Structure formats: structure tokens, C-alpha cells
Chains A and B, each alone.
Chain A
Amino acid sequence: MKHMRPILVLLAALCAGPLSAQQADPALVAAGKAVAVAGDCAACHTNPEGKGDFAGGYGVDSPLGTIYGANITPSPQGIGDWSFDQFDTAMRKGRAPDLHFLYPAMPYTAYAGMAESDMKALYSYLQLGVDPSDNVPPHTDLGFPFSFRAIMAGWNLLFLNGDVVAGANAEAGSAARGEYLVKTLAHCSTCHTPRNALMGEESDSFLGGGAVGEWIAPNITAGPDGIGDWSRDDIARFLATGRNAHGVAGGEMGTAVERSFSKMPRSDLDAIAAYLVSVPAVAGNGPVRGARDPASIPDIEPPLSGLNDYIDTTDMSGARLYQAACATCHGWDGMGSVDGAHPALVGNTAVALDDPGNLVMTILNGAQLTLDPDASLMPAFGDQFTDAEVAKLASYVRTGFGAKALAPVTQAQVWNIRNGVVQTGWLLANAKALTIAGLGLGALILIAGLAVLIRRRRRIR
């Protein structure tokens, strides 16, 4: 195997490195690999078009500039010189050995709760199980005031809870093990818990739903606004394949499923499911329920007085656009395929969220997860529709298959989503002026906001 060679080499040269014999135990390295998968390290530290696993350089656009994942391979350009204690400090406190502060794009507030055994395993894996790379990722420069990383110290004081979460070694598949995974490695709350005014997670709304760029990270608590109607098997299947009867994983969740959840042992997915069904219900941020307003068949066939125009599309209703582009797979009635191959839109979370981001993003980019080679994917429609057409289509899908009460989607909203314009708000837009005016607190709030804003990928040409 690819990763065995460095292990053997390093086992022979143990005394030369910072590792103890115990840390070089192949079983520990293997366990560390599993931790790295569960922690989804590769999502930010491996550039799919780049120079090898964990070699960094993956650029994530943020409204403030591009942030590049670091090289975390065992090379001098990576973390090859780091001791375990230095690694542990970076993972739990967000501070690198040269004392610089990490941007909270790195979810150290979640990793702070990791068990020491997992931390040691991860360290062993990154030092011994990964090919060293001398790649030097591009420098991340967000400009003043965000280049002044020390402002993170204040924020850390407020929101960094260093307590270790129990359950790392609880019974396989148990809710206790699930709680540990959810709160630490899987860092679910990073996206799924709403943020307070200081951009810290609201502890009393744990997993009650948040936002990631254009995407909404829905409420995943066990109530009517969350995933209370999902069975444990539904949850585990969603994590394993990115889809179930209720919806499809898109955006960052799709990436997380692809690179992390789908590679975790089934017992850990069962554990997460067992825990999630016990999370106290939080209200809000869930799909809107209520009466729907689907079109009848005569509505979606051409109007009685109309002659079909073979080129012009300006007069087409949302219902007819849906019929032309979507009904093949999702059914003219939004009920999906009879054998479950394609999801129903009725009851689908993305369709019924108040914020249309997930629906519009899915129309534009498709649902491209192909974990199961026999499963279908949804092609991208970004090149096939104008913004006005997407707006009409999305509006129809929301009211026809979600709930009548949902607001129509506007062409401007589609344009913003297509072009990656996030509603960053007044504070962020005026950060530099505020900071110069001495409102340092504003800056640290804003920089913390990067934790949620930067995880946004552009897939639209």
C-alpha cells in the first residue's frame, strides 16, 4: 500500500524524528487515518488538482480573499518538525508553533474536544502514514484588519471551550460514540448551529441550522423543524451515500459525504444517527410545511390558445419549465421515481427551506455525488437556463412541491447565488473603517465569521 512504505522507513529511523516508538505503531497510524477521515482533513488540506494528499494549496474563496489550506505532510514545509505538543496546541487552541493564530476556517473549536488517544493517532498518521511533500501553498493574505491574526486571541477567550468530549471509546454504534463524533471530529455544529452576534455558536440552539455561503445547513435536531421524521437508517444512509428519501447532500455536505462520511465505518454512521435522534428539538430554520399548490396536467401542457414557440422561451411558466427540464426524473407531480432512483421533491428539505439557496444551487450545479456507480446524478442546469428561468422554475418548485406559503424566488436572488454574492452584511463590508475607528471587537467578530463564510466553493463557470 502507498502509505506503508514511509511507515517502514520511519520505523527503521525512529530515533531521528520527534516520534516515540509507541507513536510509530502501525495500528496507531491506521487508527489515525480513520480519525483523519472522520475529521475530513482532506477537504481543506488536499488540493484535488494539486501536489498530493494533505500537501495544501486548496484555495477557498471568501469575500475577503482566498484562503489556502496548509501543507500538513511530514515535511519541513508542512508539520514534519512539529512535536506532538505543538500539534496538539494547533488542533485544540488554534495556535501554530510560531505562535501565529489560525483562522477559524480550521474548526479547532470542535477538535478541542477530541480524545487524547485520537489526537495521538492522528499525529502518528500525519507524521508516518502520509507522503511528505515540499509544496508551499500560496500565502493567504486577507488584508488589514484581517491580516492581523492576533485579534483571534480575544475571540478564542470567548468561544473556545477546551473540554474533552466523552465517548471516544464508547461502544460501537452507541449514541455516546455518536455524540463524540458529532461534537468533535465531524464538527457538525460548525455549519449546523446558528451563530450569535459575535459569531460564536449559540449553545442553546445546538444543531438548529446555520448557513454556509449560498447554502443553508438545515436544522438537524430531532424535532418537526429538523429531521424528526428521519429514521436512524435514513440518517445513516444519507451519510453513507449522500441521499435518502428526504433529500440529497449538496455543496459542502456533499463534499463531506464524499470524502469523509462515506469512508467511515458503518458503526460510526449508526452512532451518529443514534445520537442525532436524541438531540433536543430546536425550533426554526427547518423546511416550511403547509398546503402545496402543484399544477394540474392541463396547466403544464401548453395553454389552449397557445401555439408552442419552438425557440422563444420568455413566456414559459415555471410549471412548464419544470415539465421540460425536471419532470423526467422527479415526476410531473414531484413524487420522484417509482423505484426510488430519483428523489421526490414533495417532502424534500432543500425545496421547502425558507432560504432558496440550496434549491437554486442544486438547479445550477446539479447533484454530482457519484459514490455509488450505479446511482444517478443530477446534471447541472446552470448553462441551460437564464437567471429569470431559474427564478420561475425555483418559485414553482417551492410553491408546488414545498409549501404554498414560500416566497417566490427573484431573478436578482438567482444572480447573486450564481455569482457567489453572499449577504455579508454591514459589519463585514465596513470592517476596515470600523477597525481604523478602533472598534477592534468588530474585526474579531468578523474574522470569526470566516468560519462560516469561506467554506463556499464556486462550481459555476
Chain B
Amino acid sequence: MSDYDADVIIIGSGTIGSHVALQCAQAGKSVIILEAGTKLPRWKAVQNFHEDAAKRNWNAPYPRLPWAPHSYMEGYIEATGDADFDYVTSYLRVAGGTTRHWAAACWRLLPNDFKLKSTYGVGRDWPISYDDLEPWYVKAERSVGVSGTAQDDQSGQNRGAYPPRSQDYPMPPEAMPYSVQRMTSKLTDMGYSIAHEPCGRASRPYDGRPACIGNNNCEPACPIGAMYSGDMTLEKAVAAGADLRTESVAFKLETGEGGAITAVHFRKPDGSDHQLTARRFVVASHGLESPKLLLMSDVANSSDQVGRNLMDHTGLTFSFLADEPLWTGRGSVQHGCIVNRRDEPSRAQHSAIRYSFRNLVPNLDIAPDLIEQGLRGEALDDAIRDRAGRYMQISTMSETLAIPTNRVQPNPDWTDSIGLPGLKVTYRLDRYVRAMLPQAQRDFANFAQAFGAEVLTAPNQWRNQFHIMGTCIMGDDPADSVVDKDCRTHDHDNLFVVTTGVMPTSATVNPTLTGIALAIRAGDTLVKEL
């Protein structure tokens, strides 16, 4: 018998942890997955959505566990920052992780996103290049089931089909909604480049999943499983032999001789403590929870960079009524975006920007005001129809830089039901981000003019996009980074950290696909070593 409880213990059952688990389990390695939350079948999340009052609260349909609080539990995250910005983020602690309620955008970074410092003189460079990661992007796209077109310039810089790809997407894009046709028709004329948003939604039957039928409920729960979510990979990992242990909150990694991690300690909802040993440990617990565990354990932090360099795509949202019916809400919640500003020379001065068209059924956004205004009966119904038809919302994904003072730490002043700390976040928007405001206002002014907009929400309020990066930053130099190019901690040979938190640059795109590509790559490394 082995001296260890498992070859590898993975902390976190989200899509990233599940991908590492699947790789290892398929290779015949013994795998234990620790998950703080519970299992919840997809249909139960749908029922919870149906029966909760807060339909626009993406966390509401998921378990509210006092021993594994999620980001919307009162007091769990205490944030300090700028006066004009509230740090809010949304993530779940549930089997399958936060992709249970994502919108499934599956972007690759651009080659320049890996070398921001050397190209534009700001931020950091990755220790690996786009070309290094490309084969794993292919694997990630196949595993997730991404719909997209290889024949597009995702950089918006007239580069032809870009970024370069060795394989096409596994599925073609879904049809373009009428609203995006109208945006394309008018904004292309003005000089804007509209791209399909690659997404983890089946555009045709794929891997036992039906094609998307436009339930418009990606967030908080795709009711038919057309959209990929982490529990799908988790189920495959379990079927391949991985041992999933839910309601098990890891709180300490124990270090032994030579700096190796020897055990993980975890607590059950009843307060009892347990421990497990393994040859390798993988922390895959989300960009805020992973550094929390490392800091609580005082491991992997000789650089003092754990929890620092917190990034998001903090940006702006513009909602308006167009002078013609567009009818957002037909299709999924996102289809297209504007990519001109993703990789321009101005990245040396301010954030790169991507403008994303939201495609929500807007009735919930417009009806309360109309009722309050005193409209009743047919007048109310007519106004709802008129405004729902003309509603449009455009958000920016704005690049942020890795700044050590933007950080997350355990917060001992707040504890959950099993005595574990909350989170303390310090996050300020620097000049680099704020200096994108004039550019964004000019672009928004053009969009507004094209559609004769009547403003509902002007784009002058910062908000997060809930994309956590930087907190376990990757680099070649152990003095200023936490993990190396393989997601192995500089300080502990047998400890890997796999989360979007390792990303040294944020770029302008949802980081999950990059995280999954890194996870599959780390899984390959683990399989070779074990």
C-alpha cells in the first residue's frame, strides 16, 4: 500500500481543479478532490432560480452554506478602495465551481497579452508565450466545447485571421441575433470591428449536450446544459476514478522537511478536523480563495506576492434606449463584441478595452421604473413592450495591471460557522485604468449617436466583471512571483497552484479558457512526474 492517501489531492472542484483531476485520473493516478461546497444538480439550480425573488442575483440559486460562504454572503468580503468604486465580485462555492453561473465566454489571450511589458512597457510579461500555450488552448476548447470562428480578427487590428490557431473551433458560431446584426450594420460603418464572442455553448449537439435554444439564462443557470459548466468535467473525473469529497473546507497546508507539502487539513461542517496526505497538492480554489489558503498556511510566499497583484476587468456599463427596436434577449446572454481597442498602441498609456454587447431579456430592468412612474393597464404593457424592444446595454472589459498593493488577505475579524476567516480586499483603480475613460466616452458617444440613444445609465460608474487574476502570480523570478511557468510554486516542489489567479496580465477577455488551458498543461506535468 502507498504511504500516501492519494497521488494527488486537488483543492477545489471547479472547472480548473476538475480538469487537473480528469487528466490525472485518466492516467490511472489516485486523485482526491476536496470541495468546500455541496453538490447540486443542474435542475435544482433552475428550480432555485425559478423560486427565488432575486432573478438578477447570479449567486441566489446556489447553496448558502455557513461553512463555505460565497462572495455575496453578508460580511464575507470586506473591501477597501476608491471612493467612487465598490469592489464587488461574484463566485460560488459549490461542486463544479463558478462556471455553474458564468456566461461561457471562451477567449484566448492575444500574443501581445503575454508580453505586455516588452511590447508596451507596462505591467508584466508572462514566462511563457502564446505559442507555448496554443496546444493547450486547443485541448481546452475541445474539452469545454467552444463555438467560434477561426476566420476572424479577434484583435481588431486588420491582422486577418488572428490570433493564429493550429485547429479550428470544435463547433461553428451560433446564428447572429437581429440585435447584433443592427449593431454590426451601423457600427461597422463608423469604423468599429465586431467579432463573434467564442463561447462554451453548444451551437449543435456536442458531447451529449443539446444546442443552445436561447433560454437567455446562462447566468445564473443554463436549464438544458447546452452551456458548459465545471460540473460536467467533474462528473467525468469522478467517473474516471477521482474521489470527490464535498463539504470539506481545506484550511491548512502542512510543510515538512525540505519544504515539501506533507498534508492538507480540512474542516467539516460540524467543526471536526481531518487531514490527508499526497505526493502532490494542487490548489485550484478560485483566484481569491487560493491565496487565502496559502496565506493561512504561510506557504509559497517567500516573495510576499501571494494575494497581491489582484486584477479584474473593472469597467463601465452603458445602457440606453435606441431609436429603433433591437430586441435584446433573443438568444444567449452574449454574442458579439467590439474589438478595435484590444491591442492598440495606446495600451502603453491606458487600459486596452473590449466592448461587449449584453443580450439580456430586459423586462426586469425596465418594468420597475415604469410601474413606479404610475403607468397602469394597457399603457404600462405598451411601455414595457416599447422599452424592452429598444433596450441595449454595452459594457467594457478594461485591462488592469498587476499592482502589489491591490490585494486579498484573510480577515480574522470575521469568521464563518466553522471559525475560518473571511476575506479582506484592498483594490484601487490606478491611473492606467482611469485613463481609459476619455477613450471609452468617445466610443460610447459614437455608439449613442448611431442609435439615437436615450440614456438609461451613463457609462461613468466603475464596476467589476468578476474576473480574478494576479493573486498567485506566475513568473520566472522567485523573488517577485509565486508560481513558475508550470504553475508549480517556487517554494514547494510538490505544490501547484492552478487558478486564473496565476495570470500576470489581465488582457481584455474572460480568463477562464486560459485557466483551463493552464490546468490541462499542469495536469500533463503532474502525470509525467507521478
Question: Do they bind each other?
Answer: yes
Please give the residue numbers on chain A whose beta carbons come within 8 Å of chain B beta carbons, in ascending order: 301-302, 308, 310-311, 313, 316, 320-321, 323-325, 328-329, 337, 341-342, 366, 368, 370, 373-381, 383-385, 461
**CB < 8 Å neighbour of B51 from A301, A313, A325, A374:** A301
Number of interface residues of B (CB under 8 A): 29
- For the complex with contacts A308-B51, A311-B38, 20 further pairs of A-B residues with Cβ separation under 8 Å are A301-B50, A310-B61, A310-B63, A311-B44, A316-B47, A324-B47, A325-B43, A328-B224, A341-B213, A370-B204, A373-B204, A374-B211, A376-B205, A376-B210, A376-B211, A376-B213, A377-B210, A379-B210, A379-B224, A384-B42
Q: What's the nearest-Cβ distance from chain B to residue A266, in Å?
A: 23
Of all chain B residues, the one with the shortest Cβ separation from A369 is B205
- B211 proximity list for chain A (CB < 8 A): 374, 376-377
Select from chain B the residue with minimum beta-carbon distance to A339.
Answer: B213
Interface string of B344-358 (1 = CB under 8 A from A): 000000000000000
A-B contact pairs, 10 of them (CB 8 A): A301-B50, A308-B48, A310-B62, A311-B40, A311-B44, A328-B223, A370-B205, A376-B211, A377-B209, A461-B239
User: Contact flags (1/0) for B28-54 with A, using CB distance below 8 Å?
Assistant: 000000000010111110111011100
Partner of B43, one of A310, A324, A337, A373: A324
**Cβ of B225: which chain A residues have Cβ within 8 Å of it?**
379
Q: Of B38, B210, B235, which one neighbours A383 at CB under 8 angstroms? A: B235
**Residues from chain A with Cβ under 8 Å of B64 in the complex:** 310
Closest-CB distance, B101 to chain A (whole angstroms):
14
Nearest CB of A to B91, in Å: 17
Interchain CB contact under 8 A, A323 and B47: yes
Closest Cβ of chain A to B213, distance in Å, is: 6
Nearest 6 pairs of A and B residues by beta carbon: A324-B47, A325-B43, A328-B223, A370-B205, A308-B51, A324-B43
Q: How far is the CA of A375 from the CA of B210 in the complex (A)?
A: 9
Whether B215 contacts A308 by the Cβ 8 Å rule is no
Q: Are A321 and B43 in contact, CB atoms less than 8 angstroms apart? A: yes
Q: How far is the CB of B362 from chain A (nearest CB, A)?
A: 20
CA distance A325 to B221 in the complex (A): 12
Name, among B44, B52, B204, B239, the residue most crowded by chain A CB atoms within 10 Å (CB to CB): B44
B208 within 8 A of A: yes
Query: Closest chain B residue to A341 by CB distance?
Result: B213
In the assembled complex, the Cα of A356 lies from the Cα of B44 at a distance in Å of 24
Per the bound structure, the CA–CA distance linking A329 and B211 in Å amounts to: 12
**Interface flags, B1-43, vs A, CB<8A=1, else 0:** 0000000000000000000000000000000000000101111
**Which residue from chain B places its CB closest to the CB of A329 in the assembled complex?**
B224
Q: With A366-B208, A376-B211, A383-B235 in contact, do A328 and B61 touch (Cβ < 8 Å)?
A: no
Most interface-central of A310, A366, A385, A461 (chain B CB within 10 A): A310
Residue of B nearest to A322 (CB): B43
Is A384's CB under 8 angstroms from B48's CB?
no
Q: Looking at the assembled complex, report how far the CB atom of A368 sits from the nearest CB atom of chain B, in whole angstroms.
A: 7
Task: Tell me how far the C-beta of A313 lies from the nearest C-beta in chain B, rounded to whole angstroms.
Answer: 6
Residues of the B chain whose Cβ atoms lie less than 8 Å from the Cβ of A320: 47
Please, which residues of chain A bring their CB within 8 A of the CB of B63? 310-311
- Contact call A384/B223, Cβ cutoff below 8 A: no
Residue in chain A with minimal CB distance to B37 = A311
Q: Cα distance A328–B209 when bound, in Å? A: 15
Contacts of B40 in A (CB 8 A): 311
Beyond A366-B208, A370-B205, A383-B235, is A310–B48 a contact (Cβ under 8 Å)?
A: yes
Chain B at the A interface: SS class: loop
Secondary structure dominating the interface of A: loop
The smallest beta-carbon distance between B464 and chain A, in angstroms, is: 25
> What is the CA–CA distance of A337 and B224 in the complex, to the nearest angstrom?
14
Contact of B50 among A324, A376, A385 (CB under 8 A): A324
B200-219 near A? 1/0 per residue, CB < 8 Å: 00001100111101010000
Q: Which residues of B contact A328 (CB under 8 A)?
A: 46, 215, 223-224
| A384 and B225 alpha carbons, distance in the complex (Å) | 11
Question: B residues within 8 A CB of A381?
Answer: 43
Residue of A at shortest CB range from B222?
Answer: A328
A324: contacting residue among B46, B52, B62, B208, CB under 8 A:
B46
A366 to B205, CA, bound (A): 12
Instruction: Say whether, besides A310-B64, A370-B205, A374-B204, A329 and B38 are in contact (CB < 8 Å).
Output: no
Chain A neighbourhood of B209, CB < 8 A = 377, 379
Q: How far is the CB of B100 from chain A (nearest CB, A)?
A: 13
Report the minimal beta-carbon distance from A443 to chain B, rounded to whole angstroms.
39
Contact, CB under 8 Å: A379 / B208:
yes
Of the candidates B47, B50, B225, B235, the one having the most CB atoms from chain A within 10 angstroms of its own CB is: B47
Nearest residue (CB) in B for A342 is B213
A368: B residues at CB distance < 8 A: 205, 208
Distance in angstroms between the alpha carbons of A328 and B214 in the assembled complex:
10
Query: Distance (Å) between the CB of A395 and the closest chain B CB?
Result: 17
Nearest chain-A residue to B61 (Cβ)? A310
Q: What's the nearest-Cβ distance from chain B to residue A382, in Å?
A: 11
Produce 1/0 per residue, B277-317, CB < 8 A to A. 00000000000000000000000000000000000000000
Identify which of residues 61-107 in chain B touch chain A, using a CB-to-CB cut-off of 8 Å.
61-64
List residues of chain B with CB within 8 A of the CB of A316: 47
- Measured in the bound complex, the distance between the Cα atoms of B115 and A145 in whole Å is 74
> How distant is B244 from chain A, measured CB to nearest CB, in Å?
13
CB distance from A210 to the nearest CB of B (A): 29
A311 surroundings in chain B (CB, below 8 A): 38, 40, 44, 63
Bound CA span A108–B205, Å: 36
Whether the Cβ atoms of A373 and B44 lie closer than 8 Å is no
CA distance A80 to B171 in the complex (A): 41
Q: Contact: B213 with A324, CB < 8 Å? A: no
Please measure, in the bound complex, the distance between the C-alpha atom of A316 and the C-alpha atom of B51, giving whole angstroms: 13
C-alpha spacing A85/B223, complex, angstroms: 57
Question: Given the complex, which residues of A lie within 8 Å of B47, measured CB to CB?
Answer: 308, 316, 320, 323-324
| Distance in Å: Cβ of A74 to nearest Cβ of chain B | 35
Contacting residues, chain A, for B239 (C-beta < 8 A): 461
CA distance A14 to B239 in the complex (A): 52
Given contacts A329-B224, A373-B204, contact A378 B210 (CB under 8 A): yes
Report chain A residues within 8 Å CB of B44. 311, 313, 324
User: What is the CA–CA distance of A310 and B61 in the complex, to the nearest angstrom?
Assistant: 7
Q: State in angstroms the CA–CA spacing of A294 and B158 once bound together.
A: 57
Q: Is the CB of B41 within 8 A of A373?
A: no
Is B46 touching A373 in the complex (CB atoms < 8 A)?
no
User: Least Cβ distance of A330 to chain B in Å?
Assistant: 11
Q: Interface centre among B43, B215, B225, by most A CB within 10 Å?
A: B43
0/1 string, B409-427, CB within 8 A of A gives 1: 0000000000000000000
A34 vs B40: C-alpha distance in the bound complex, in angstroms? Answer: 48
Quote the shortest CB–CB distance from B193 to chain A (angstroms): 28
Residues in A with CB closer than 8 Å to B38 are 311
How far apart are the CA atoms of A128 and B136 in the complex, in Å? Answer: 44
Output the nearest chain A residue to B207 by Cβ-Cβ distance.
A379
| A323, A324, A328, A461 interface centre (most CB from chain B within 10 Å) | A324
| B64 nearest in chain A by CB position | A310
B79 to chain A, nearest CB (A): 26
For B224, the closest partner residue in chain A by CB is A328
Complex Cα distance A308/B62, Å?
12
Per the bound structure, the CA–CA distance linking A10 and B338 in Å amounts to 60
- Least CB distance from B170 to A in Å reads 13
Closest to A307 in B: B51
Q: Which residues of A contact B208 (CB under 8 A)?
A: 366, 368, 377, 379-380
Q: Given the complex, which residues of A lie within 8 Å of B213, measured CB to CB? A: 329, 337, 341-342, 376
User: Bound state CA distance, A313 and B210, in angstroms?
Assistant: 25
Known: A302-B51, A368-B208. A384 touches B46 (CB 8 A): no
What CA separation (Å) do A381 and B235 show in the bound complex?
A: 13
Question: In the complex, what residues of B have CB within 8 A of residue A380's CB?
Answer: 208
Q: Contacts of B50 on A, CB cut-off 8 Å?
A: 301, 323-324
Closest to A378 in B: B210
Interface centre among A320, A337, A370, A379 (most CB of B within 10 A): A379
Would you call B205 and A377 a contact (CB within 8 A)? yes
Nearest CB in chain B to that of A325: its residue:
B43
Residues of B within 8 A of A375 (CB): 205
